[in-house]
Amino acid sequence: MKLSVASLFLLFSSLVLSQIQLDNQFGEWTGIEHVAASDGSPFVKTAITSNMDWLYLHIQFTNEVGLDENILPNEYFLLLDLDDDVTTGVNYASQGLGVDLLLNFASRQAIRYTGGSGVESLNEVGMRSSPTYSSKEFEIAFKRNMLGEMGENMRYMWYDGDSQTGFPSDGMAHSPNESFAPWIPSSIERSEGTLSRVAFWNMNNRMDETPAKAAMERILQAVSPDIIGLSEVSNVSANYVRNLLNDWVPLEDGESWNVVKDDYDLMVASKGAVLSSHASVYRQFPVVVEANSAWQVPMLFTSSHLKCCGGNSNEAQRQSEADEYMAFLRDAINGEGNGPVLSPNAPIVYGGDLNMVGLDNPIQTLVTGDISNESANGPDFAPDWDGTSLTEWAVLQSDHPFDYTWTSSSLSSEWIPGKLDYIITSDATADYKGGFVVRTDAMSTARLSELGLLSTDALDASDHFIVVADLGLGNLIGFQPDSDSDGIYDAVDNCVAVANSAQGDFNDDGVGDACSDSDGDGLSDELELNVYNTDPLASDTNQNGVLDGLELCLCESSGNCPGDITNDLVVSVADLLALLGLFGATC
């Protein structure tokens, strides 16, 4: 019985572990056997697994690397001996493997030594990788039917041309697994606890093309978002998109979508009212919208399209854009600058086509608030309301366990599919309840029929897939700070540090009478109005040459009733108000 149970457990484990998710989350690799490198190696550890469709690799490097970029130069190669036979292929760098397929990551090339015609693109061997930006750790997948004929066993090795180090030293053997743990498509129904369904979509400037519009309509009807951040819409107006949405996803009672556009290629479309928009932030379009009333306060929703592609100048610009947005967000949270003043615990949602290739610094800035150029953009800060970082959510394709949101239409393209489109939120207030990426060519016929979609819809609509997230209440929602415990939340209290539940403001200057001294005589406006009956706009009410604050100073009270500053023989709130009004006076 013990052997039988153990055998069943191992079978079940192999089925579960064969289903890797390419999402820059590496937890599922912990149960898979790794080979560790020796000290001083450029490698840390590696592992391999497979199912009937994909071969998966996990690799951890000693130092950060841009795997398929030159921004951090590397000489890393992957050697694949697809039949574990040294007599076929080539003995590359005398490492003792019969290499049938070599991957040169820095040059983004595959060289097929067996059964091929030489140099191919990484796309042509079915490669996928996560993350798309620099890291010390990657998970990589290869489409098995694009790799070439595989034997019952295969062997692979990582090779560093700089140090001429092969790892593992004899390669790592693997028997490709023909078992298949099927990926169960995720529901696109709204998740429990959802208040607002948000979406980001790079439209590839196709919103005026008839075939693309038909595909967009079907996708948006299936998804039914409440707020949409659009990019690459420079060729259409906000009014044009508003009319499309009113036709495609009509609102109840004849209401209209609210659509605003920045000065170039970004839009925000919302079912709720748009309260303000801020086009001055470069390549990012923050908009304050009325989302679900359960949040109690408006949402800051930002549609972004950061600078594309690699190269030092593009890297620098992308980082500069991330810095600029975080400076904007810091000021909005602190009530500074020329932008909006966010109410405490306002849900913050940021996303769109971030073009995250090359260095990982911009995404780290956008999540942690670690600003690169502080001299130009001000100090670092904790951007979530609970004093922590924001959260970048790992959103997978609904019908496939990969996270990529962009793909080229050509296999010969040097760029493999990658995750370019992101959703980042203040999880303390806008918690992720679920989400998905719509990639229709990965859906079954039954699934497409159920959702009213065609298999070609996603790529007919754009070269980017729509990214969708269901957001609900975070842990801080419902908590509003009240620093002076007067029953008025700080967000609307006109005297945050002085208790004044009545909120008196006789001159409507936005500062409560309890903490305002309009005439600078040393007495608060509240004391002058309610206790001393002096003029809060005249520093010397009786014009005798002595400031009201000095004339009414009661420091020489007889002391027969300690604390009775007003000399009415009762220690009361009026005495406290009088004392507060005397702070700073000289008696």
pLDDT for 340 beyond 50 = yes
pLDDT score, position 552: 72
pLDDT for 3 beyond 80 = no
Confidence bin at 17 (pLDDT 50/70/90) = very low
What does DSSP assign to residue 235? Answer: T
- Residue 394's alpha-carbon distances to 51, 177, 366, 397, 506, in angstroms, are 22, 27, 15, 10, 52
Q: Please check whether residue 465 is in contact with residue 437, taking contact to mean a CB–CB distance below 8 angstroms.
A: yes
pLDDT for 99 beyond 90 = yes
For 22, the token pair is 């390419």
Q: Please check whether residue 345 is in contact with residue 351, taking contact to mean a CB–CB distance below 8 angstroms.
A: no
pLDDT for 264 beyond 90 = yes
Which domains, ranges and CATH numbers included, belong to the chain?
17-174 (2.60.40), 196-473 (3.60.10.10), 487-587 (no CATH)
Confidence bin at 457 (pLDDT 50/70/90) = very high
pLDDT score, position 262: 97
Integer Cα distance of 15 and 49 in angstroms: 11
**CA 477, 479, 483, 488 torsion-angle sign:** positive
Q: Provide the mean pLDDT of the chain.
A: 90
pLDDT for 305 beyond 90 = yes
Integer Cα distance of 228 and 259 in angstroms: 9
- Residues 6 or more apart in contact with residue 263 via CB below 8 angstroms: 279
Integer Cα distance of 127 and 176 in angstroms: 17
Q: How far is CA 290 from the centre of its chain?
A: 20
- Residue 244's alpha-carbon distances to 5, 291, 301, 353, in angstroms, are 59, 21, 21, 22
- Residues 6 or more apart in contact with residue 377 via CB below 8 angstroms: 323, 324, 326, 327, 371
Q: Is 262 helix (H, G, I), strand (E, B) or coil?
A: coil
Integer Cα distance of 478 and 471 in angstroms: 16
Ramachandran sector of residue 478 (left: φ over 0; alpha: ψ -120 to 50; beta: rest): left
Q: Which alpha helices (DSSP H) does 438-495 contain, by range?
A: 445-451, 457-461
Which residue is listed with tokens 């040059």?
A: 107
Q: How many Cβ atoms from other residues are within 10 Å of residue 222's Cβ?
A: 18
For 159-211, what is each residue's pLDDT tens digit? 999 999 999 999 999 999 866 667 889 999 999 999 999 999 999 999 999 99
pLDDT score, position 13: 39
Confidence bin at 540 (pLDDT 50/70/90) = confident
Q: How far is CA 506 from the centre of its chain?
A: 44
- Average pLDDT of span 7-35: 71
Please give the single-letter amino acid code of residue 3: L
Measuring CA to CA, which residue among 387, 472, 385, 389 is closest to residue 435?
Answer: 472
Alpha-carbon torsion, ordered 299, 300, 301, 302, to 10 deg: 180
Strands (E), 394-466: 421-425, 430-437
pLDDT score, position 414: 85
- Residue 51's alpha-carbon distances to 19, 20, 92, in angstroms, are 7, 9, 27
pLDDT score, position 572: 73
Lowest mean pLDDT among 207-216, 320-329, 396-405, 412-421: 412-421
For 245-263, what is each residue's pLDDT tens digit? 999 999 998 899 999 999 9
Integer Cα distance of 190 and 469 in angstroms: 9
pLDDT score, position 10: 36
Q: Is 21 helix (H, G, I), strand (E, B) or coil?
A: coil
β-pair type (284-289, 274-277): antiparallel
pLDDT for 510 beyond 60 = yes
Strands (E), 329-415: 348-353, 391-392
Q: Give the whole-number percent of the chain exceeding pLDDT 90.
A: 71
Q: Which alpha helices (DSSP H) does 452-572 contain, by range?
A: 457-461, 525-527, 548-551
- Average pLDDT of span 306-332: 96
What does DSSP assign to residue 128? Answer: E
For 559, the token pair is 């002391």
User: What Rg, from alpha-carbon coordinates, does the chain have?
Assistant: 31
Longest dimension (CA), the chain: 110
Integer Cα distance of 192 and 473 in angstroms: 11
Angle (deg, nearest 10), helices 312-334 and 361-368: 0
Lowest mean pLDDT among 69-83, 89-103, 113-127, 273-287: 113-127
- Average pLDDT of span 44-63: 95
For 225-240, what is each residue's pLDDT tens digit? 999 999 999 999 999 9
